[in-house]
Structure 1
Amino acid sequence: MSQLRRFLVNEDGPTAVEYAVMLALILLAALVGIASVGTATSDLFNTSSSEMQAHGIN
């Protein structure tokens, strides 16, 4: 009976799960941010390339 009580009172498991969820959310936000920056950078270089070609600069 005391082992069951200790199991129900123990908070190590839920704490680990909370940290795992927070880590997953942080990683997701980082990946979205990195992808967004990558897309914006690619668009910037493509626009620059198009403008240079339009003005005869190769």
Structure 2
Amino acid sequence: MKKLMTMTRQFRDDENGAAMVEYTILLGIITVAVIATIILVGGWVSGQWTGLYALLPVAPTPTP
């Protein structure tokens, strides 16, 4: 346990640790933005397909 605490203190005091935290936060923000974009574009594409389907004429049902 003592070794873990020592490593934690060293990580906290190290500037590389701070940079890693900043990059992790930035990566999280980018990930959320990408997911939101995919959801929005997916909704738009779905709406376009639904509209296109509504404009297509109904094919007559063949009679036997």
Same fold (TM over 0.5): yes
Matched, 1:40 2:44: yes
Shift of 1:12: 1.3
4+ residue stretches of structure 1 with deviation over 6 A?
none
Query: Within 5 Å, which residues of 2 pair with 1:1-58?
Result: 7=10, 10-52=14-56, 56-58=57-59
- What do the CA deviations read for 1:29-57 (whole angstroms, capped 9, x no partner)? 011111111100000000010111xxx24
Aligned pairs, number = 49
Shift of 1:21: 0.2
Q: TM-score when scaled to structure 1?
A: 0.73
Q: CA RMSD in A?
A: 1.7
Where does structure 1 lack aligned partners over 5 or more consecutive residues?
Answer: 1-6
More helix by share: 1
- What do the CA deviations read for 1:2-34 (whole angstroms, capped 9, x no partner)? xxxxx4752111111000000000011011111
Identity between Structure 1 and Structure 2 (%): 24
Where does structure 2 lack aligned partners over 5 or more consecutive residues?
Answer: 1-9, 60-64
